[in-house]
């Protein structure tokens, strides 16, 4: 098969959550375990760091990988979903897996695919683990896909598990309360392991404490050790205090979103755990990794600037907590008029997100080209109840063109609401 034929096979023959939603999910880890067993259990052949949570797990995964790379470690990185190209999901020292590797893997395990009938995500996880094992990486940073306890990535035995923010996302699959969602996310805390919680949320901290105690794992809340604040003068600088020390450390970052304060605390706490385990990670590597995360790992779509006059930004935030953080950044930026190109997927809490959106903006409602996308007309009808001014332009690229043609040089255009809307931005 060619690379394109291989992708067509993966997309069309295997159920994919990003496209079709919950129908793609399996209720246990059986398929992943069977695939890994057929490959010689590659998940046990490399050191790993496991990263889960509702918001921030992608940025945190990329930062950790960038720090390890900067220290000279051969580092694998597995994340999902991809934005532009399938190969973004699996990286080695920042470089994407080659198309030939993808083709060879699928051809090699096609008999297992036909027999086990795994999902798209289960195949990509097995592909990543096999690749990292064959490349003999020093570390692999593995981002959870959805949830934690039953996520396909949860067959590894990580050195450290990191759980970022917990919010209301995928309530139909993970539970209708924060406690229930946190319990699913806590499933990546392993027997006799080490766990870090990026953000201390008092209403659910007991969930993590109970889980850690039940498996004899250490558990630390990153915000107890690290206080991270944004510089009042430099948008790309974070001021870090450790253990209440009056001496502050200034860290530059290519990831400038306000929410990165929480992520940086968790990342630094994970690095502390690795150092305690005997691994050498220098201060200069930490500084370089955080300062150059995007450059080193190819991260896209996290408060990414796409234009200057007018200002154009995009962000992959797609739930109430993430959108709230994005809006706080927008509020801090001077502009004449705000234009928002916005689309969602069907299984989000649509009204909860619409209720957050500012009424002083012009909206361009659109829909990504995936079956899971919420119809732009349906989104607009729901938005009417919230007093939002809008145009309906179903195609993402056409909606962006309309916003650009309507905006003056002093305006601000934001593109988001869904990872899949951001994925269709040509400038990305």
The CATH code of the domain that includes 402 is 3.90.190.20
Residues 266 and 120 in one domain: yes
Tokens standing for 69? 């790379």
Residues 130, 45 share a domain: yes
Mean pLDDT calculated for residue range 201-219: 97
Q: What is the pLDDT of residues 48-96, one digit of tens each?
A: 999 999 989 999 999 999 999 999 999 999 999 999 999 999 999 999 9
- Cα 402 to Cα 206: distance, rounded to the nearest angstrom: 48
Residue 245 confidence class, pLDDT cut points 50, 70, 90: confident
Can you say whether the dihedral through the CA atoms of 318, 302, 69, 237 is positive or negative?
negative
What's the pLDDT at 257? 76
Contact 274, 281 (CB under 8 A): yes
The answer to whether residue 334 sits within a structural domain is yes
Statement to judge: residues 400 and 345 lie in one domain:
yes
> Is 165 part of any domain?
yes
pLDDT of residue 175: 57
Tokens of 350: 């649509």
At 250-292, the pLDDT tens digits run: 999 999 877 899 999 999 999 999 999 999 999 999 999 999 9
Residue 124 forms part of a structural domain: yes
* Radius of gyration (C-alpha) of the chain in whole angstroms: 21
| Pair 270, 339 in one domain | no
Check residue 19 and give its pLDDT. 46
Together in a domain, 147 and 16: yes
Same domain for 259 and 136, yes or no, is yes
Q: How far is the CA of 286 from the CAs of 47, 239, 253, 275, 344, in angstroms?
A: 19, 14, 11, 12, 35
Is 428 within the bounds of a domain? no
- CA torsion 328-293-314-168 (nearest 10°) is -60
Evaluate whether residue 29 is within a structural domain.
yes
- The torsion of the CA quartet 82, 318, 230, 202, rounded to 10 degrees, works out to -120
Q: Supply the DSSP symbol for 53.
A: -
- Number of domains present in the structure of the chain: 2
Name the burial class of residue 201, with classes exposed (0-12), middle (13-18) and buried (19+) by CB atoms within 10 angstroms of its CB: middle
pLDDT at position 20: 47
Q: Let me know whether 267 and 400 are in one domain.
A: no
**In this structure, what DSSP letter does residue 88 have?**
G
Look-up: residue for tokens 């008092």? 202
Residues 280 and 318 in one domain: no
Rounded Cα distance, 298 and 128, in Å: 17
Alpha-carbon gap, residue 126 to 144, rounded angstroms: 13
DSSP E strands, 182-293: 194-197, 218-221, 226-230, 237-242, 249-252
CATH number at residue 268: 3.40.1190.10
Last residue of a domain, one of 236, 263, 297: 297
Q: Examine residue 140 and state whether it is found in any structural domain, yes or no.
A: yes
Read off the pLDDT of residues 153-175 as tens digits, 9 standing for 90 and up: 999 999 999 999 898 765 556 65
Same domain, yes or no: 243 and 324: no
Same-domain check for residues 238 and 293: yes
Domain boundary among the residues 297, 312, 331 is at 297
Token pair for 105: 């893997």
Of 242, 268, 297, the domain-final residue: 297
DSSP sequence for 147-175: SSTT-TTTT---SEEEE-B--S-SHHHH-
**Domain assignment of residue 130, yes or no:** yes
State which residues form the domain around 322: 304-423
* Pair (284, 186) in one structural domain: yes
Q: What's the confidence (pLDDT) of residue 30? A: 94
Strand 139-143 and strand 75-78: the pairing is: parallel
Question: Which of 153, 135, 157 minimizes the C-alpha distance to 144?
Answer: 153
Element (H, E) at 265: helix 260-276
Specify whether 308 is located in the same domain as 289: no
- pLDDT per position as a tens digit, 373-411: 999 999 999 999 999 999 999 999 999 999 999 999 999
The rounded distance, in Å, linking the Cα atoms of 85 and 99 is 10
Tokens of 402: 């309309």
- Residue 16: the pLDDT is 59
């Amino acid at each position: 098969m060619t690379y394109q034929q291989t992708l067509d096979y993966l997309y069309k023959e295997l159920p994919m959550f990003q496209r079709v939603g919950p129908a793609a999910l399996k209720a246990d880890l059986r398929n992943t375990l069977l695939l890994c067993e057929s490959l010689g259990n590659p998940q046990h052949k490399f050191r790993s760091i496991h990263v889960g949570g509702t918001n921030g797990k992608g940025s945190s995964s990329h930062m950790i990988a960038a720090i390890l790379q900067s220290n000279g470690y051969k580092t694998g990185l597995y994340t999902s979903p991809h934005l532009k190209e399938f190969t973004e999901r699996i990286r080695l020292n920042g470089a994407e897996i080659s198309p030939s590797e993808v083709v060879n893997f699928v051809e090699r395990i096609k008999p297992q695919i036909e027999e086990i009938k795994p999902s798209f995500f289960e195949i990509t996880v097995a592909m990543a683990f096999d690749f990292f094992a064959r490349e003999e990486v020093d570390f692999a940073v593995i981002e959870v896909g959805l949830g934690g306890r039953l996520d396909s990535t949860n067959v590894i035995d990580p050195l450290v598990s990191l759980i970022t923010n917990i919010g209301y996302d995928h309530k139909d699959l993970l539970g209708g309360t924060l406690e229930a969602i946190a319990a699913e996310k806590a499933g990546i805390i392993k027997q006799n392991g080490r766990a870090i919680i990026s953000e201390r949320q008092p209403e659910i901290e007991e969930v993590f404490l109970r889980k850690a105690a039940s498996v004899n794992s250490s558990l630390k809340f990153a915000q107890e050790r690290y206080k991270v604040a944004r510089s009042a003068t430099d948008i790309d600088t974070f001021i870090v205090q450790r253990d209440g020390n009056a001496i502050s450390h200034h860290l530059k970052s290519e990831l400038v979103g306000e929410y990165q304060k929480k992520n940086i605390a968790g990342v630094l706490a994970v690095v502390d755990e690795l150092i305690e385990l005997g691994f050498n990670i220098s201060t200069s590597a930490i500084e370089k990794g955080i300062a150059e995360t995007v450059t080193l790992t190819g991260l896209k779509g996290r408060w990414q600037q796409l234009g200057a006059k007018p200002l154009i930004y995009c962000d992959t935030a797609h739930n109430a907590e993430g959108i709230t953080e994005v809006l706080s950044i927008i509020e801090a930026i001077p502009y004449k008029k705000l234009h928002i190109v916005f689309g969602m997927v069907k299984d989000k809490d649509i009204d909860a997100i619409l209720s957050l959106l500012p009424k002083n903006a012009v909206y361009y409602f659109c829909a990504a080209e995936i079956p899971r996308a919420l119809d732009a007309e349906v989104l607009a009808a729901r938005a009417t109840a919230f007093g939002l001014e809008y145009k309906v332009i179903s195609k993402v690229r056409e909606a962006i063109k309309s916003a650009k043609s309507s905006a003056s040089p002093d305006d601000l255009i934001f593109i988001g609401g869904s990872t899949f809307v951001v994925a269709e931005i040509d400038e990305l």
